[in-house]
Structure 1
Amino acid sequence: MDDAAGASARYERLKDYLSADSDNLRLIAEAADAAWLAGEPAEATALIERHAAVAPPPPSLINLLGLCALADDRFADAASIFSSLLADRPADPGLRFNLAWARSRLNDHAGVLEALAQATENSQAAALQVRSLHHLGRLEEALVVGDAWEGRSDDPDLWSALATAALDHEDLERAARWAGRADTTAEGQAAIGMLAMAEGRSAQAREHFEQALALRSDLARGHLGMGAVLLSGDMPTDAARRFDQAAETFGDHLGSWIAAGWAWLIAGDAEMARERFERVIALDDTFSEAHGGLALLDFQEGRPDDARRRAEIALRLDRHSLGGTLVSSLLLEQAGKAEAAAAIVQRALTAPIGPGGQSIAEVLATRAAMGRIAP
């Protein structure tokens, strides 16, 4: 009999005993433990509450209550339970890790780091710490954690988190080294794919993104990378949909929305492109390439004054703004010419300027896709 079947059988026996001795606290505690081991967290919770109605549960049962809350995705309850237990056992690494995990699911990343201040001596805790540092934009600190773990662990989850942080910090040497230790994970494969894209190896990048998505179909970084690959393969509509999927998953990663905007623009859907650029500005109106994208759309639609104003904003925010520079050049080019603005835009978008013959739009979209992302 396997462990789960044995726990289920034991739980059934204990329930029978409890039917004859319903207030027996020892039986209630044993039944709660058996229910947990049998994969029945809701029933374990009900038994612990039954114990509490008779007498306060011991710390072991309160800890089990916290584990049940985690299993049931009641992360706020779990965080409260583990916090209360830490009052008496502040140095307990298991409690600190469980509290950190609950807080991470609540997107309380400062709280994660507080909980893990004394609990990073195992790789799972270190991976959680790295991801929270990443979310908070403290990438250099995340890399310091990685350096400290060199030679101490072969946990692919830790190295995938570190590879992603290194990639977003534009430390390609560390990213490549750490991603190589995480190639069994979706996140690791996506990191390897991004590194291949940065080197212009689109075919190899696509293979890695496909492997990443085969391991985890909802991986936003996988869809983001596939979008860049498809765009470089002259499939802008498919690329735009991939960028959209990544952007919807990330939510507030501006680079994903920018990449989607440029891809839709290349695909010839001005309305979809404008919607994405405007979404970026609604999230952060200091993002220069969103203004640059809108400037290009204004130019394409025959509104040179609006285009000039947008381009000036983009260049004021970032004097290296490709979108702003492009529109400024197009305005000069169009002066005194009868050529339609839309034709000028399409020619400019497809002119090769980057490595491997990338067009300016591909460079813009790929640059946006490779920008810093919270995990």
Structure 2
Amino acid sequence: MDVSGQKDTVARLLGYLESDPANVALLRDCAAAAMAAGDVATADDCYTRLERAAGLSDVESSAAGLAAMRNGRQARAIALFAALADTHSDDIAVRFNLAWSLALDRQFERAAALLDEATVAALPQAAMLDLQLAHERGDFDGAAEKLLPYLTAHGDYAPLQAAASVLAMDLDDEVLARQAAIAGGEHPDALTTLGTLLLGDGDSETAHSLLDRALAQNDRSPRAWIGLGLANLSLGATDEALRQIDHGAELFEDHLGSWIAAGWAHLIAGNREGAAARFEKAMALDDSFAECHGSLATIQVLAGEIEAAERSIAVAFRLDRQCFSAAFARVLVAAAQGDGEQAGRILDRALDQPLDDQGRTLRQLLGRLAR
């Protein structure tokens, strides 16, 4: 039966349950039909009522856990899978589902502890989750060690390739990121990674298409929103670009680079006040991040505040000798010779013009900051 037929079945069974709300057979059938139809809220409700009326078999407990997890009730999912794990300690599917529900509840350490060698060897989705948990916890060395072995074991699993592409970007391995993103196919994370890389290549039109497809599948991806905004900025759709980049930064919340990327987007669009506000937001989150100081230095140069800019540049370089925004601000100081209007004209040409001895462009800076 197709999904439409399953939905009709659910509607019919719910009608029967209105007349006989504690009918165990009806609750069991309705829960199963709702799961098949993708109606997790109804399935979750029916399994909860079934548990009260007659208890749940192990198979029903597992299905009830999945329904609760997909319905956003992680505490119930954890309780159901934990009870199953107590009596089925060798069941790798139960271990994975418990780990997944714990991860969704942001109990990352507990989740990772369940993903032993046997589980990640048997289930590609467990290998993917283990990689994501290491990444989420900031264990980049641990994640990097697992990356290639997991790809070797489960290379045909597109979601793992997509997760690997995201990690590879944060590891600054653009070759692996591109390979994994291509292997990840239409997975939204893979599309986002490839779109971000194409932005750095200067192919904004193709990047826009990929990022738009990514957001059609997952409209809560901050990286995709910022990437789409940067693509639109390059394509001249400035107002739309600024809304998208700001939305991505808000989804990221405390991600420094996204606020700095948003600030630069506003600066390129001529909104210095908006740019300064976003740079200051990043500074308030972490004033030890060099790009905060380098970005504010650019604002100061544009305002003709050369001495203040030079102090900010010095701070940025003390924090990071490779700070791109500080290098750009220094170029502005030298080229504009204290003339804020001349600095503004240089900024207008900066998106694709090499600005330091490594040949980096402002477009590349924005793409890197927004990762």
The TM-score bracket by the shorter chain reads 0.7 to 0.9
Task: Judge which range, 166-175 or 61-70, deviates more.
Answer: 61-70
C-alpha separation in 1, matches of 2:278 and 2:18: 61
C-alpha separation in 2, matches of 1:5 and 1:295: 59
- C-alpha deviation, 1:220, in angstroms: 2.7
Distance change >3 Å, CA 234–CA 60, structure 1 → 2: closer
Which of 20, 45, 49 aligns to 2:48? It is 45
Which of 350, 357, 363 aligns to 2:353? It is 357
- Alignment RMSD: 3.4
1:66 corresponding residue in structure 2 = 65
- C-alpha deviation, 1:265, in angstroms: 1.0
- C-alpha deviation, 1:130, in angstroms: 2.3
- C-alpha deviation, 1:184, in angstroms: 2.0
* 1:66–1:82 Cα contact (<8 Å) kept: yes
Distance change >3 Å, CA 364–CA 132, structure 1 → 2: farther
2:39 corresponding residue in structure 1 = none
- Runs of 5+ consecutive residues of structure 2 not aligned to the other structure: 35-41
- C-alpha deviation, 1:261, in angstroms: 0.4
State the structure with more CA Rg.
1
Residue identity in the other structure for 2:191? Q
Distance change >3 Å, CA 333–CA 153, structure 1 → 2: closer
2:181 corresponding residue in structure 1 = 179
2:278 corresponding residue in structure 1 = 276
1:257 corresponding residue in structure 2 = 259
Distance change >3 Å, CA 176–CA 304, structure 1 → 2: closer
C-alpha separation in 2, matches of 1:9 and 1:216: 28
2:84 corresponding residue in structure 1 = 85
1:134 corresponding residue in structure 2 = 135
Which of 319, 322, 335 aligns to 2:321? It is 319
- Runs of 5+ consecutive residues of structure 1 not aligned to the other structure: none
| Percent of residue pairs bearing the same amino acid type | 28
- C-alpha deviation, 1:236, in angstroms: 4.6
- TM-score with structure 1 setting the length: 0.80
What is the 5 A alignment of 1:29-40?
30-39=25-34, 40=42
What is the 5 A alignment of 1:176-215?
176-215=178-217
> Could you list the runs of 4 or more consecutive aligned residues of structure 1 that deviate by over 6 angstroms after TM superposition?
16-19
- C-alpha deviation, 1:161, in angstroms: 1.4
C-alpha separation in 1, matches of 2:269 and 2:195: 24
Residue identity in the other structure for 2:211? F
1:299 corresponding residue in structure 2 = 301
Deviations 1:53-80 (A, max 9, x none): xxxx555554444334214311123223
2:242 corresponding residue in structure 1 = 240
Distance change >3 Å, CA 226–CA 13, structure 1 → 2: closer
* 1:69–1:78 Cα contact (<8 Å) kept: yes
1:125 paired with 2:133, answer: no
Residue identity in the other structure for 1:137? G
What is the 5 A alignment of 1:163-174?
163-174=165-176
- C-alpha deviation, 1:179, in angstroms: 1.7
Task: Judge which range, 279-288 or 292-301, deviates more.
Answer: 292-301
Distance change >3 Å, CA 249–CA 163, structure 1 → 2: same
* 2:260–2:369 Cα contact (<8 Å) kept: no
Deviations 1:300-352 (A, max 9, x none): 334444333322221221122233234345446666x6x4x2x1331332345
SS in 1 for 2:186: coil
Task: Judge which range, 9-18 or 220-229, deviates more.
Answer: 9-18
Distance change >3 Å, CA 359–CA 242, structure 1 → 2: farther
Distance change >3 Å, CA 193–CA 134, structure 1 → 2: same
Distance change >3 Å, CA 100–CA 371, structure 1 → 2: farther
C-alpha separation in 1, matches of 2:336 and 2:103: 53
Residue identity in the other structure for 1:164? V
SS in 1 for 2:321: coil
- C-alpha deviation, 1:243, in angstroms: 1.7
Distance change >3 Å, CA 181–CA 252, structure 1 → 2: same
Distance change >3 Å, CA 369–CA 300, structure 1 → 2: same
2:94 corresponding residue in structure 1 = 95
Distance change >3 Å, CA 172–CA 366, structure 1 → 2: closer
SS in 2 for 1:198: helix
Distance change >3 Å, CA 299–CA 13, structure 1 → 2: closer
